[in-house]
Amino acid sequence: MRRVVMLVDNAIDGDSRVQKAARSAAETGWDVTLIGCAHVDAERRWRLGAAEVRVLPLAAARATPPATASTVVSRPSAGVPGPGASADLGLGGGDGSASGRDAGSRGGSRLRGVPGLRARLVARGGLPLRAARLARRPVEHAEVRYWRARLRDGAWRRLEPGLWDYERAAGPVVDELRPDLIHAHDFRMLGVAARAVDRARAAGRDTKLVWDAHEWLPGARPRRDNARWLPAHLGYVREYVDHADAVVTVSDTLADLLVRDHALPERPTVVLNAPVTTAPEPTAPEPADLPAPDLRERCGLPPGTPLLVYSGAMAVQRGVDTVVEALPLLPGVHVALVVADPEAAYVRQVVARAARHGVGDRVHVLPYVPHRQLVAFLATADVGLIPLHHWPNHEIALITKFFEYAHARLPIVVSDVRTMAETVRATGQGEVFRARDAADLARAVRTVLADPARYRAAYEGPDSPLPGWTWEAQAERLDALYRRLLTR
């Protein structure tokens, strides 16, 4: 049995794509270990169907140097020092603290002590925190220019040295497993996988690498409020992308962008974020195999009450504020927010906003259910909401909740982000509204609620898109790719 190691930069339990990929690959006959890296106190292990899951603690990794990094047989970008220059690049101590503070030490005093500068400004009362952050930006831009001029794509070693934490945590474990194929999910694990493949090949094993690009990084919202984040991660991906034997991604639009950005020799295989639609094989009972709860029942609503649902991550750019502002224009309509953490700060802000608008009693916040239960859970709602703001990655994606709503046979009300708006108009499965326009969202909801059967009809008959929008269909593509790579 050929061994597949999957890598992801989170705790796995909230990431349905990696869970589905690992479970379906194991069901097909691959020996799968799914490795996550997260801020946990100790290593966690469990099984996901036939796949083994291990979540490794990042904090513990910081206590040890990235030993695997010093032995890598690298193919660096032109102008990027190789392993022999590890001392210069901070490979032994790049833990995001010392290395990060010293990032400008060779570039003159103006590049030193950025965090200290902010602390001094705030402590002296000279600038509030937001202004201090703005004052920090010129220094950060100077850091970016200096290290990119010196190290080119390898500048991430100075600008974002915390990326080595993933190497410290996962690199030795991957080496011990001796995989035939490494499937790196998203951008942070690409370098970890590439270095592991190089070490395996140096040892005489022909390990293959699949990079699964979940999003278009140039269009991503920076994960931290600093000017270094995006250029550092873009350089990191450029340094390692040519190590991949194949690339997988989530939409045709993103596949075209990846070909353009990285001059890929082969168009990525598109594996949609579609839901699982078949029941699991009878095994030891798992929570996800139990009957799904009922969304409407959880909200305490009778069948005739109009119920909208938003399922997924909550952030300003996701547009849930627009939904709250539309509720006063929709008398008697309720909305369910199905989120990872109902007590998260932003969720509480949204609930408080609803109360200020006088609609707090019509907003229901519920926790996630296992991804295999989600479609059945959503099915008792009347409309699925996707109120995204315009943002590059929002324009190009068919996101997970789009397919989950579709399989729940829900009419979809989506903002006019390009790809999903075009799809909804083509299939007739919902209505489109202007992003951030509460009145237009209310108009779209009223239109759907006036004749929901018209929109649900798009999911029926020979022209239904649903058969191709299943994880089972996507898993066949992934399995075919694995077999092609390992039987060349």
The pLDDT, as a whole number, for residue 280 is: 52
Indicate whether 79 belongs to any domain: no
Q: How confident is the model at residue 62 (pLDDT cuts 50, 70, 90)?
A: low
Task: State residue 119's pLDDT score.
Answer: 56
The answer as to whether 82 is a domain residue is no
Say if residue 152 is in the same domain as residue 166.
no
- The rounded distance, in Å, linking the Cα atoms of 385 and 335 is 9
Q: Is the per-residue pLDDT at 36 higher than 80?
A: yes
Residue 414 pLDDT greater than 50, yes or no:
yes
Q: Please, what is the average pLDDT of the chain?
A: 86
pLDDT tens profile 353-405: 999 999 999 999 999 998 789 999 999 999 999 999 999 989 998 999 999 99
Residues 56 and 187 in one domain: yes
**Which pLDDT value is given to residue 114?**
45
Q: Would you say residue 325 lies in a domain?
A: yes
Query: How confident is the model at residue 206, as a pLDDT?
Result: 96
Domain assignment present for residue 178? The answer is: yes
Query: Model confidence over 172-181: pLDDT tens digits?
Result: 999 999 999 9
pLDDT at 94: 36
The CB-based long-range contact list for 457-461 (8 Å cut-off, 24+ gap) reads: 457/428, 458/427, 458/428, 458/429, 459/406, 459/409, 459/429
Q: Is residue 280, in this structure, part of any structural domain at all?
A: no
Quick: pLDDT tens for 273-332.
999 888 654 444 455 456 779 999 999 999 999 999 999 999 999 999 999 999 999 999
Q: pLDDT digit string (tens) for 199-211? A: 999 999 999 999 9
Q: Are residues 320 and 412 in the same domain?
A: yes
Residue 67 has pLDDT above 80, yes or no: no
**Domain boundary residue, one of 108, 132, 160:** 160
Whether 119 and 208 map to the same domain: the answer is: no
The model's pLDDT over 443-475, given as tens digits with 9 standing for 90+, comes to 999 999 999 999 999 999 999 999 999 999 999
* Dihedral sign (CA 233, 217, 231, 199): positive
What's the confidence (pLDDT) of residue 292? 77
CB atoms within 10 A of CB 294: 12
Q: In whole angstroms, what is the distance from residue 379 CA to residue 404 CA?
A: 9
- pLDDT given for residue 82 in this prediction: 36
Do 429 and 322 reside in the same domain of the chain? yes
Question: Which pLDDT does position 170 carry in this prediction?
Answer: 98
Which CATH number covers residue 305?
3.40.50.2000
pLDDT above 90 for 81: no
Clarify whether residues 306 and 428 are in a common domain.
yes
Residue ranges making up the domain that contains 426: 287-462
Phi-psi region of 211 (alpha: psi -120 to 50; beta: other; left: phi over 0): beta
pLDDT of residue 277: 87
Residue 364 shares a structural domain with residue 296:
yes
Give domain status of residue 221, yes or no: yes
Same domain, 56 and 112: no
CA distance 172 to 128: 44
Residue 79 confidence class, pLDDT cut points 50, 70, 90: very low
Kind and range of the H or E element at 34? strand 31-38
Specify whether the CB–CB gap between 38 and 7 falls below 8 A: no
Q: Judging by beta carbons within 10 Å of its beta carbon (0-12, 13-18, 19+), is residue 281 exposed, middle or buried?
A: exposed
Tell me the pLDDT tens digit for each residue of 89-122.
Answer: 333 333 333 333 333 333 333 344 445 555 555 5
346 and 437 housed in the same domain: yes
Least confident of 170-174, 250-254, 437-441: 250-254
168 and 24 inside one domain:
yes
The answer to whether residue 84 scores a pLDDT higher than 50 is no
According to DSSP H, which parts of 66-123 are helical?
Answer: 67-70, 86-89, 98-101, 114-123
CA distance 390 to 402: 16
Q: Scan for tokens 């009419």, then name that residue.
A: 411
* Helix (H) and strand (E) counts in the chain: 22, 14
Question: How many structural domains compose the chain?
Answer: 3
As a whole-number percent, the residues of the chain with pLDDT over 70 amount to 81
Q: At residue 479, does pLDDT exceed 60?
A: yes
Q: Are residues 326 and 400 in the same domain?
A: yes
Residue at 9 is within a domain:
yes
Of 160, 186, 207, the last residue of a domain is 160
| pLDDT(2) > 80 | yes
CA atoms of 205 and 162, how far apart (whole Å): 29
pLDDT in tens, 212-235: 999 999 988 766 678 899 999 999
Residue 88 has pLDDT above 70, yes or no: no
Residue 183 has pLDDT above 60, yes or no: yes
For residue 272, pLDDT over 80 is answered with: yes
Establish if 214 belongs to a structural domain: yes
Tell me, yes or no, whether 149 and 171 share the same domain.
no
Given its phi and psi angles, is residue 79 left (phi above 0), alpha (psi -120 to 50 degrees) or beta?
Answer: left
